[in-house]
Each structure stands twice: as C-alpha cells, then as structure tokens.
Amino acid sequence: MKVLLAESAGFCYGVRRAVELARDTAVKTGGCWMLGDLIHNTYVVDELKRLGVRKAASISYLKSGDTVVIRSHGESKQILEQLEGKGILLVNATCPNVRRIQVLAAQAEAEGRTPVIIGDAEHPEVAGIASWCEHPLIFSGPEEVSDWLKHNLEAREVPLTVMAQTTCIRELFETSWKIIKKECTNAKKFDTICTATRKRQFEAAILAAKADVMVVVGDRKSANTKHLTEICKESCSRVFQIEKADELLPDFFSGCSVAGLTAGASTPAGIIKEVYAAMSEEIKAVENNEESFEELLNQSFKTLNTGEKVTGIVTGITPTEVQVDVGAKQSAYIKFSELTDDPAAKPEDVVKVGDEIETYIVRVNDVEGYAELSKKRLDAVKVWENIEQAVEEKTVMEGTVTEENKGGIVVSVKGVRVFVPASQSGQPRGADLSAMKGQKVQLRITEVNRARRRVVGSIRSVADETRRAAQEEIWANIEVGKRYTGTVKSMTSYGVFVDIGGVDGMVHISELSWSRIKTPSEVCKVGDTMEVYVISYDPEKRKISLGVKDHNVDPWQVFMDKYAVGDEASVRVVKLMTFGAFAEVVPGVDGLIHISQIADRRIEKPEDVLSEGQIVDVKITAVDEERKKISLSIRALLAPSVEESVEAEDVEE
C-alpha cells in the first residue's frame, strides 16, 4: 500500500499572499482587523488572532485610524466605500484573480452588457463580485441557466458577458457556457477559473482515478475544498473530506492498496503534513518504503535545465524584473530586457501577478539558488513554430505592412518579416503599394524556409475567401426592400455600381435622385458611401437592382405643402425646348416657363436668355393638381419694358 500526494495540494498564491499580508500588517501595526474570516480555514484564522489580527463583527466596531486587512475572497464595493469613508486604513489582500473578475463585471455593465457569474451566490467571493455591477445574473450551474432561458425568451437577445467563480468546477462552467453560446446571439466568455484551482482540480481527478481511497483536507466552509471532494467522487467511490488528522479512522483504509491525498487552497502545509503522516501510520503495508512529507515535497520540485521550457506563476513585479514561481527549489525571475521587445512597455503592461507564464530557461545557478528566465526568446521560437504550423493548417494571420519591396510588400507578423508578392497583395495591377504602409492586413502563409528565414504570404487569398463568404451571406438573406450601406465602386453614363458587402448592385440614374440629372457624377463619386435598398434581384444571373430615392416621399405633395399660386421661388433650369424651359421647383417636380414668360421682350428661342443649370427667380402662375402641371413666369417678376409701356399708353388713349 502507498499514499499518493497531489503536487498542488495546499495554499494557492492568493491565499498565501493574504496570510502573509495579514501577518506582516499585524507585526507592523501592533494589531489589525479583518472583516469575517481572512480565508476559509479555522486553524489559520485562530493563528492570526494570536498574532493580533482581530475579527470585527461589523464596520460599526471600527474607528478612524484602524487598519483592516481585506480577505482573499474580496469585499463588496459598498463595504470598501464605507471603510474609506470612516478613515480606516485598508490593506487589500483580495486575490488578484478575484479582483480581475470584479473589474470584468464592472466593465461588462459599462459596455451595456449583462454580467453572468457561474458560481455559488452565497459565497463571499461571488457576493463581492456581484456588488461591482447593478444587475448581475448568478447561476450555480447548467440547470439554472437552462431554466432561466426557458422562462425568459427575450434573454436570448441580451448581450451577456459570462465569467466564473475562481473555484468553480470546470465542467459546470463549460456546460453552462455551451448552453448560453447555443441559445444566445450575443454572448462573450471570460475563463476566470483560477489557474491554480484548475491545476488542483485536474490533479485531484487524475489521482482519484488511481486511488482506492481519497482524502481531501480543508475547512468545511471552503468552496474549493468542497469542489475537490465532488470531483474526486466522480472517479473514486470512497472519498473522505476532513479538516485535520485526528478525523482519520482506520476503517477508511480497509482493503486499500493506493490512497490519494489532496487539499484545498486554504489548507496550510503543516496540516497536510500531519494528515499525510497519520495516513502513513494507518497503512502498515508501506512502513518499510515510507517517504516523509518533506521528501515527497522535494521530489515534487522540478529540475531546471538551461535551454528548456518551463511554466510558472507570476508572483511579483518590479520596474526591472518579474518574479516567477516555477515549482523549483530555485527562485526564478525574468529581466525586463528578456520580457518584451517593446521599449515603451512597462512590466505590468505585459503580465499581471497571478498570471501563468511560459518561459525559456537562460541560466540556472544552483549555488546561489536562482534561475534566469526569458519570455522574449521563447516567444521568438513559438512564433516560428506558429508560422510553420500556419502553413500546414492554412491559418489566417494578422500583421502590419512595414515597407514596399521590389515586386511586393513586407508584412510584419509577430516580429517575422513576411514577403507578399504584388500579385498577392490584393491590390489592382499597377497600384501604388506604398500606400499600404502602416495598414493592418490579414494573410495566409504560403511558404516557409526557416533556415533562410524566408516567409512568403498572400493577402489576396484571404480577401477572396472573405469576399466569397460575404457574397454567400448576401445572397442567402437578400430580399426586396432590404436596406444596405454600400460603397460606390464604379460609374457609367446610365448609373453606378455599389458594393453592398461583397456583391455589386446597380443603381440606375433614374433612381439616384428625384432631381433630373444628366450623369451620376452630379450626385456622387467613386468611393462614396451610399444608403441603398433592393428593388429587385436575380439569383441565377447574380444581378441586383438597387434604389436610392425614398419612394415613401411624394415630391408633388412636398411641392403642394411648400408653395401656392402667386408664390415666388428660386428654380433650376433643367431642360430647354423650342416652346420654353423646364425648371426644377423641388426635387422631382418640374414646372414650365413658357417662352412668352422668359423675358420682358419677344425672344426667338429660350437659349437666348437661359442655360441649363441656371438658377432663376420665378412666380408660380398656375397649378393643375389633377395633371400635376405647374406654370412658371420670370416675366411676372420683371418691370415692364419700354415697348410694353408704349403699347399700354396706346390702349388707354
């Protein structure tokens, strides 16, 4: 018989940080306060009390100048505001992962989205997160999610941002997300289950599958310990959750050949050590081959070798380096020069405390007990691996055009120079490729020679594929009357072609404007954005007829509402005839200025006085509503000519 100890059992980073902050604060201040239990472990809380960290039943117990350590599960926004308002000094031991979820919830609501939290609504962490937004939704798992969607059909259209309690069981979160993703049209997911929690749960599941008996150590109020127990029960029929070693019974291990041991994130190493020792004593079959707890811990340490990859957790950030816990005896760090190529970036812009980070081991110093790491070097290796993989999988990648080259352009993709031939640039033949400098583009990698550091790509293939997909989308959903925002692609004498998202439609010149125009260039130009609607379409011939004029507006009614007989108006001459000139009164409505009404004298032809496009003032002399005809007169606004005056005097005599 043997005892198997989970590698990640015990304190996680957030809990360890909270306990250390509380201890340091108690020493520095001579005593401080905590609101509720700092972590969910009675023995640790009792130890802190002995050091001077007292527990306040409510804020009313506290006074200005007191120091309060905020527990690792976080606190509500309202409580923090009340504490600051009373002049109380705060030491925020909230786990960085919990704080991230609080920020995500607040940001989601600020963006007009509804925060959805998968977790235990009664847990202080979840209650605290919920306080950072006005209307959060909290579900314990997929059953509650399904029930909510069933009774709230309108919820399928609501923008949702889905996140999880840091200690949530992964299966509950993933199943809940699948339901939301399937049913809701605008949902976004943030995987906020703590990396340490994720690892601990995974190890517990693997260990439970091997063991005849599983022992889970942790406070009964601890949510993550409870979840570990539930996970173990899925693979092992005999699972016991205990708080300390004296709860172990001999009957636990009858008929057992392999016993597994794991512990929640709030369980200190001392208690785990005691439980392990007690289990070893109970299992007599392993007495001759028993390993001490310390030996197991030493065996669990990673061996670091220069040139290898290693994954760790960011534990601290300074202006010059990032400290990383890689599960080894040596302390590990990354110099800022080995963190990123961006000289303007700060370490905290690249990583956050609590982040999982993959690095390359530059040097190991066993004598002084430290290891130098490099994220930058590993990123460079991974980029080339990604580039090579992108060729095989035909992955679409994004980059920035940095320069024009002989025969094409150069695109920087994650720091790698990719040559794109002119024929694959997506631009017309002979186009000025230098205009693309600085643009972000999507492309496929078509050729890689890592030895020569040569990479070739194609923007055109992605653009063609995107356009085909857009075309299929248009044809699948097109209907008469549907409106689109398009771009004028080309012009002819009889109309314009408008791109409505991968498909070109034709707007006839008669549909461009209510006003009478001779050429489309009078109202638009290539590149203009245009609001259009579908008049008709032919899927077989792939032809679409578009309109711009709003036929809900009656130009004649616009004229009748604005003018009456006797009114004056400024009109535009649109056509000259032998008998007079037609002029636009309002867009879509023309009136006739008879040749006799053009001038205050006799004229041979209208063009002797007028020209097309000229703006003139007229008087409306008659309106035929039934036939929708309008008579206009320039002459009526002019002073009588000498000839007319003489004729008038002769008549009077």
User: What is the rounded distance in angstroms from the CA atom of residue 404 to the CA atom of residue 391?
Assistant: 23
Nearest-10 Cα torsion for 287, 291, 293, 294: 140
Annotated catalytic residue: which of 75, 125, 282, 584? 125
Dist CA 359 CA 351 (whole Å)? 12
Determine the 3-state secondary structure of 13 from DSSP. Answer: helix
Choose among 8, 1, 66: nearest CA to 35.
Answer: 66
Strand order across the beta sheet in which 89-92 lies:
53-56, 32-35, 67-70, 89-92
What type of residue is 208? Answer: A
Residue 125 is among the residues annotated as catalytic for this protein? yes
Instruction: Supply 106's token pair.
Output: 């607040």
To 5 degrees, how large is the angle CA 343–CA 345–CA 347? 115
Q: What is the CA radius of gyration of the chain?
A: 39
Secondary structure letter of residue 327 according to DSSP: S
The DSSP code sequence of 377-432 is HHHHHHHHHHHHHHHHHT-EEEEEEEEEETTEEEEEETTEEEEEEGGGSSSPTT--
Task: Tell me if residue 121 falls in helix, strand or coil.
Answer: coil
Instruction: Give whole-number Cα distances, 198 to 91, 170, 435, 444, in Å.
Output: 27, 7, 48, 34
Instruction: End-to-end CA distance of the chain: give it in Å, rounded.
Output: 142
CB 320 within 8 A of CB 336: yes
Quick one: 387 exposed, middle or buried, by C-beta within 10 A (0-12, 13-18, 19+)?
Answer: buried
Q: Quote the CA–CA distance of 395 and 26 in Å, as a whole number.
A: 55
Q: HSE (CB half, 13 Å, CA atoms) of 485?
A: 1
Distance (Å, whole) CA 102 – CA 75: 10
Q: What is the set of active-site residues? A: 125
